[in-house]
Structure 1
Amino acid sequence: MSLTTSVGLLVPLVAKPSQINAVTDFLLAGYNLLPSEPLTRQWFAVKYEDSNPPTYAIFDTFAAEEGRQAHLTGQIAKALMDNASELLDVSPEIGQLNVLVSLIRPISGGGSTAGVTKGLRVLFTAKPDKVDAVRDFLKSAIPLVEAEPQTTYWYAVEFPGTNTFGVIDFFPDDTGRGAHVAGKVAAALFGSAEELLTGAPDLIKLDVIAAKI
């Protein structure tokens, strides 16, 4: 099956301090429900490192809008809404996004985390007259990412109607993540921030709880 994606969701989950373990258990239960959603192409459950309050997120992708809508009306979304008031400090905000370009290199025998343990979530807002330039920059970054063998899954995304873009990517371990942060893609993005963006990119390190490719 093709792994190509065009749309996705990013759903941060701010846990009640007393429910941290329960949120982790909920996300693992969501992973086990994925066979009921054949149109969900890739799915990641993560924890934001060093976050206060404790924050988790689900990032998932779909080939087309049909798959996204099936997920939003499926068992995982229903379970989240049914348990949100008990587990979360605030109601989850569902961020709908377009996947501009992605690089997906599945790891054989990756298990319940698809072979990755660490990730990054980097969000940034383009200046109004630089939206096209930021979009083009992200689309052109694929050759640089391909040269990073430890960058296993890489997604450049856009949140429609907001001028906000992002990069969400995953690595086998912290060494791979460190190599990416010190690499050419990150250098080009941060080096262009003053020209293209309204402010510095917001970078959050991720721990992977579960993933399906």
Structure 2
Amino acid sequence: MSELQLIHPDRRNLLAPVLIAFVVLGIAIALVLRYTPHRTADLAITHTAVYPAHTVFKSDSLVVGSDKTEDDLYVLTNLHIQDRLNLPLFIKDFTATLITSDGQQFDSSAAEKADLENIYAVFPAIRPLASEPLLRETFIGPSKSADGMLLLHFPVTLEVWQHRQSAVLQVHLYHQGPLSITIPIESSKAAATHSQGTDQDKPSEQE
């Protein structure tokens, strides 16, 4: 009886396709890394103006010092967003966080488009500082950009704002993580307004 002989395939014939596959895979990975952006978008603050409002609520009481006061600061900041992805961006929301010099934190959400006219009506001096708003639900195409104003409100004085630790603006997107940028310390100043009202519910502005 003849002996059974096992035929082994030439290992060198299998090595070549494996090496070629690794080379192709390496090239594909390199191309992906080369042409895929490393950041979602670039943010830039192009201009910031602030409007401090000091409101005095007149009291009917004859007691000296019974009037109540309220300080509000409106921050109008213009934002530029440049899409760095090969995908569109969909803006969901704009928020900001203010950290004062003593460590207090105040959070703000940019005013809705429908609320802007109401704010301008109460504080007419804000309107000249305003520009075309950057809106929620804005669509930014691949490699495109968007610009616009955001109106933020903080219950602080101008002095607190000027001596802050930081003020950070966050842009929230639907399909990517949030983006952040610090609002520069140097902000243009608007004249303060002193408002008076006959009661706490109906303040009226006076120059």
Q: TM-score, normalised by structure 2?
A: 0.29
- Pair member with larger Rg: 2
Name the structure with the higher helix share.
1
Name the structure with the higher strand share.
2
Q: TM-score, normalised by structure 1?
A: 0.29
